[in-house]
Amino acid sequence: MHLNLDDAWSDLPRDLPVLDARDWGPRLRFSAPSRLMEEFFREYESQLAPFLVYGSGDFHHLSALWIRRLAEPFVLVSFDNHPDWDVRPPRWVCGGWVNRALELPSVEKIGVWGCGNFECWWPRQLFGNRRAERRGELEVHPWADERPASQQNRRGAILRSNWRAKFTQFVQALGGSRVYVTIDLDCLRSEDAVTNWESGRFTVEDVVWALMQLRASNARIVGGDICGAFSPPKYARLTQRFAAQMDHPKLPARNFEAAREVNLRAFHQLWPALIG
């Protein structure tokens, strides 16, 4: 299903049902009060499909709502250029939604792959949920190729030369677990996706390969989502707009239609591998 919050996607397959939630987009973008999040989820929960494509990465905190529908234990696998583990307020924000996911009793573990963002390193890692990482509830796998040799030993760090081997080990350890997969397009390099955030280092082929490893294992993908396509930001509240503008990187101007074309190509490769 396509949950349309911000018109980020166009020309998706005609057989993909569309749920129009654009009235909610400005209210939920980047962050939202708990009251609004709960109201939104009550309105749409019964209409959602197990696999969703939705808006910009500014809405990634909605993934913590999507996974509420899974009653049985599962492992959450995220492909993202950001760890989204920030423990600071507000409670519901795209940069901290992993903590909302960890609160759910059905979530056994979360693995975040492909972080190229500085949040995984000193000193910004002080704002991350290091406690969950130390307990093994959260695995963060940031790129370390351009880091000093001493930092390449960081827990979970990956290199271009070894990330596939480490991901294979991760998949093997899942055994027969149920798995939910969330893909933020900002995990991809700029040639493969246009987003509202910094670009990552995965190629589309990398993420497709990872999805195929999951599907070839004993693990079972029971749901998933794709977000992260660029859209011009619209906000409902001044405080929301201010916080979002402070947090977003300063990026070159985006051509909206050209961005849609690039992201559509990525979708056509990722979606079949995700839904099986």
Average pLDDT rounded to a whole number, residues 34-53: 98
Taking 90 as the threshold, does the pLDDT of residue 59 lie above it? Answer: yes
Q: What is the pLDDT of residue 118?
A: 86
3-class DSSP assignment, residue 273 = helix
Percent of the chain with pLDDT over 90: 96
Q: What is the pLDDT of residue 156?
A: 96
Q: What is the pLDDT of residue 194?
A: 98
Q: How confident is the model at residue 54 (pLDDT cuts 50, 70, 90)?
A: very high
What's the pTM?
Answer: 0.98
Residue pair 67/48 in contact (Cβ under 8 Å)? The answer is no
Taking 90 as the threshold, does the pLDDT of residue 264 lie above it? Answer: yes
Mean pLDDT for the chain? Answer: 97
Answer left, alpha or beta for residue 175, where phi above 0 means left and psi between -120 and 50 means alpha.
left
Can you spell out the DSSP letters for 42-83? HHHGGG--SEEE-S-GGGGGGHHHHGGG--S-EEEEEE-SS-
**Burial class, 107, CB count within 10 angstroms (exposed 0-12 / middle 13-18 / buried 19+):** buried
What are the residues whose beta carbons fall under 8 Å from the beta carbon of 1, sequence distance 6 or more? 16, 17, 18, 19, 48, 49, 51, 52, 53
Q: Is the peptide bond before 272 cis (omega within 30 degrees of 0)?
A: no
Average pLDDT rounded to a whole number, residues 77-96: 97
Q: What is the pLDDT of residue 151?
A: 87
Taking 80 as the threshold, does the pLDDT of residue 117 lie above it? Answer: no
* CA separation for the pair 34, 275 (Å, rounded): 30
With tokens 């880091």, the residue in question is: 147
Q: CA torsion, points 213, 219, 223, 227, in degrees to nearest 10?
A: -30
Percent of the chain with pLDDT over 70: 100
Reported as a single tens digit per residue, the pLDDT across 193-245 is 999 999 999 999 999 999 999 999 999 999 999 999 999 999 999 999 999 99
* CA separation for the pair 120, 122 (Å, rounded): 7
DSSP character for 16?
A: S
What are the residues whose beta carbons fall under 8 Å from the beta carbon of 119, sequence distance 6 or more? 82, 83, 85, 86, 125, 127, 128
Cα–Cα nearest to 80, from 160, 162, 171, 199: 199
Reported as a single tens digit per residue, the pLDDT across 10-20 is 999 999 999 99
The residues facing 2 across adjacent strands are 18, 53
Q: Exposure pattern of 5-30 as b/e (b: 16+ CB <10 Å)? A: bbebbeeeeeeeeeeebeebbbbbbb
Q: What is the pLDDT of residue 178?
A: 98
Reported as a single tens digit per residue, the pLDDT across 165-184 is 999 999 999 999 999 999 99
